[in-house]
């Protein structure tokens, strides 16, 4: 896979306790046949809080689309701002970080 400069994307207003879904479109990159992983951490290199991946079915890839999904009963991060990135790969030696940024979680009103 070629080397890419990661795009910085801020995920805002993800509500604790709600179903979470966010789609990213890569206009010139076909992702079919690739795997992906996204980790949400307290800070870069910090404690792992949530993981999305094609292996755990929390990342869905279709053509140029990559979608992060998490059921409401598993989206229980405390309100705050976290770090995340998305890596796409075909093997352990063929990895590209495509997106990096912050992941904001807000509190639920109705519990």
Predicted local distance difference test score (pLDDT) of residue 53: 97
CB atoms within 10 A of CB 91: 8
Q: Which residue in 75, 67, 74, 55 sits closest to 15, CA to CA?
A: 75
- pLDDT tens digit string along 43-95? 999 999 999 999 999 999 999 999 999 999 999 999 999 999 999 998 878 89
State the pTM of this model: 0.91
- Using CA atoms, how far residue 43 sits from 18, 39, 48, 95, in Å, is 23, 11, 9, 21
């Amino acid at each position: 896979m070629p080397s890419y400069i990661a795009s910085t994307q801020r995920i805002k207003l993800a509500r604790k306790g709600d179903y979470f879904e966010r789609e990213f479109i890569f206009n010139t990159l076909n992702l079919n046949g690739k795997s992906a992983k996204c980790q949400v951490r307290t800070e870069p290199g910090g404690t792992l809080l949530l993981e999305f991946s094609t292996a755990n079915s929390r990342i869905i890839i279709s053509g140029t689309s990559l979608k992060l999904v998490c059921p409401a009963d598993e989206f229980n991060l405390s309100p705050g701002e976290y770090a995340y990135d998305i890596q796409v790969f075909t093997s352990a030696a063929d990895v590209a970080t495509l997106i990096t940024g912050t992941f904001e979680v807000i509190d639920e009103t109705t519990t």
